[in-house]
């Protein structure tokens, strides 16, 4: 399992682990798949996340470079490599059968044996024949609550493409406080929101551990008002997979999303997908909140569609396909 190695914030002594200390979409995907694969009896080498806790069946490599990864893989001798690094840690023609999950926008660096996260992401990459496997969630790692507190939640990087400002506008229209949780790397953007919505938006910083799972379980709803612009690499942003949607749903919390990218495909099952450009009136916000699904339905839907055992079974199928010489683009 190849994870992209990143330092933990400004701390040059630590790497972001699998699962991550705080923000980390790809790290959560790797952790959740590892949960499922260990349950299925696989033996796993995790590369690119030194400091992660080893478990029976899971070995954690210290490798963080392309060359060291190659050495670690040679020693381990995998049947199949699952690359989450967009080619950063694995050459175009690796020595082992490989499956690559595309976590970004646009066309992947290496197109062979890609798995996409949504039809929207797959279409935008120009692929027609590659498998689409949704992002997984392990319900055992989340807290489920039916009684909610009086706030709305934003959980993600506080950036224009993630719609943090739109979340504040929605919360103001709904007359509910908004807790903004996540790293804020664009400080002007954050300060703009706090200045324009002073009595609605509260910034609580990056969260992890029980603080994160409590927020997910206690919120009236999670706001994922992703916008089709301002992507991290510039240009159009098509939301590729959105881990937070399944995380909220297993916690019994509905999702108020936009229709950007994957959200049009997954949000309606556990909430709603509004037009990305909508600035809701108080009446519209109240109507949206009144129409959201109940916690029991949300958890059951998330486990059935995106539960880690369901998604692991789909990956095992593509691993077998790759390991027996299959190729696709």
Q: Which of 247, 295, 303, 308 binds ligand UDP (CB under 6 A)?
A: 247
**Residue 242 lies near ligand UDP (rule: CB under 6 A):** yes
Contact 252, 296 (CB under 8 A): yes
Q: Which of 182, 231, 271, 307 binds ligand UDP (CB under 6 A)?
A: 182
State the nearest-atom distance from the C-beta of 2 to ligand UDP, in Å.
17
**Residue 24 lies near ligand UDP (rule: CB under 6 A):** yes
Nearer to ligand UDP, 57 or 210 (CB): 210
**Residue 243 lies near ligand UDP (rule: CB under 6 A):** yes
Q: Which of 90, 99, 173, 244 binds ligand UDP (CB under 6 A)?
A: 244
- Residues within window 152-181 making contact with ligand UDP, judged by CB under 6 A: 155-157, 181
What phi and psi, each to the nearest 5 degrees, are found at residue 143?
Answer: -100, 135
Q: Nearest CA to 145 among 205, 192, 215? A: 215
Contact 127, 116 (CB under 8 A): yes
Which residues, at least 6 apart from 264, have a Cβ–Cβ distance to it below 8 Å? 120, 273
State the nearest-atom distance from the C-beta of 318 to ligand UDP, in Å.
20
Q: Are strands 7-8 and 11-15 parallel, antiparallel or unpaired?
A: antiparallel
Total residues found in the chain within this entry: 329
- Residues within window 25-84 making contact with ligand UDP, judged by CB under 6 A: 25, 28
Q: What is the dihedral of CA 277, 283, 285, 291, to 10 degrees?
A: -120
Q: Which of 106, 131, 208, 293 binds ligand UDP (CB under 6 A)?
A: 208
State the nearest-atom distance from the C-beta of 22 to ligand UDP, in Å.
4
Nearer to ligand UDP, 103 or 110 (CB): 103
Q: How far apart are CA 42 and CA 140, in angstroms?
A: 19
Burial 218-230 (b: 16+ CB within 10 A, else e): bbbbbbbbbbbeb
Options 17-25, 63-71, 82-90, 106-114: segment touching ligand UDP (CB under 6 A):
17-25
State the nearest-atom distance from the C-beta of 310 to ligand UDP, in Å.
18
DSSP assignment string, 35-99: HHHHHTT--EEEBS-TTPPPBTTEEE----SHHHHHHHHHHH--S-EEE-STTSSS-SS-SS-EE
State the nearest-atom distance from the C-beta of 48 to ligand UDP, in Å.
16
Q: How far apart are CA 208 and CA 31, in angstroms?
A: 14
**Residue 138 lies near ligand UDP (rule: CB under 6 A):** no
- The residue sitting closest to ligand UDP, measured at its beta carbon, is 25
**Residue 22 lies near ligand UDP (rule: CB under 6 A):** yes
**Residue 231 lies near ligand UDP (rule: CB under 6 A):** no
Q: Which of 134, 165, 212, 299 binds ligand UDP (CB under 6 A)?
A: 212
Q: Nearest CA to 142 among 73, 71, 218, 82? A: 218
Which residues, at least 6 apart from 54, have a Cβ–Cβ distance to it below 8 Å? 60
Two tokens at 278?
């909508």
Nearer to ligand UDP, 58 or 242 (CB): 242
State the nearest-atom distance from the C-beta of 291 to ligand UDP, in Å.
23
Nearer to ligand UDP, 170 or 237 (CB): 237
**Residue 206 lies near ligand UDP (rule: CB under 6 A):** yes
Interface residues toward ligand UDP, by CB under 6 A = 22-25, 28, 155-157, 181-182, 206-208, 212, 241-244, 247
């Amino acid at each position: 399992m190849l994870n992209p190695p990143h330092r933990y914030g400004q701390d040059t002594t630590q790497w972001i682990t699998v699962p991550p200390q705080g923000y980390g979409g790809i790290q959560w995907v790797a952790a959740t798949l590892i949960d499922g694969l260990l349950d299925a009896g696989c033996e796993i080498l995790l590369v690119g996340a030194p400091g992660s806790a080893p478990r029976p069946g899971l070995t954690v490599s210290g490798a963080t470079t392309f060359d060291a990864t190659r050495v670690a893989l040679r020693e381990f001798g995998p049947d199949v490599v699952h690359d989450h690094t967009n080619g950063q840690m694995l050459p175009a023609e690796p020595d082992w059968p490989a499956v690559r999950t595309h976590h970004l926008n646009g066309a992947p660096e290496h197109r062979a044996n890609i798995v996409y996260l949504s039809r929207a992401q797959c279409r935008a990459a120009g692929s027609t024949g590659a498998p689409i496997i949704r992002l997984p969630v392990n319900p055992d790692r989340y807290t489920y609550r039916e009684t909610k507190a009086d706030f709305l939640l934003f959980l993600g990087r506080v950036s224009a493409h993630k719609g943090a400002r739109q979340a504040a506008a929605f919360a103001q229209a709904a007359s509910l406080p908004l807790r903004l949780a996540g790293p804020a790397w664009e400080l002007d953007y954050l300060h703009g929101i706090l200045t324009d919505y002073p009595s609605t938006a509260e910034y609580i910083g990056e969260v992890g551990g029980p603080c994160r799972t409590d927020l997910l379980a206690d919120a009236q709803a999670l706001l994922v008002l992703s916008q089709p612009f301002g992507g991290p690499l510039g240009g159009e942003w098509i939301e590729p997979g959105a881990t937070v949607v399944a995380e909220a749903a297993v916690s019994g919390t509905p999702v108020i999303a936009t229709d950007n990218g994957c959200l049009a495909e997954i949000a309606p099952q556990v909430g709603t997908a509004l037009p990305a450009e909508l600035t809701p009136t108080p009446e519209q916000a109240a109507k949206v909140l009144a129409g959201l699904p109940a916690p029991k339905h949300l958890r059951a839907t998330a486990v059935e569609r995106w539960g880690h055992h369901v998604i692991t079974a789909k990956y095992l199928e593509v691993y077998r396909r790759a390991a027996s010489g299959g190729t696709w683009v």
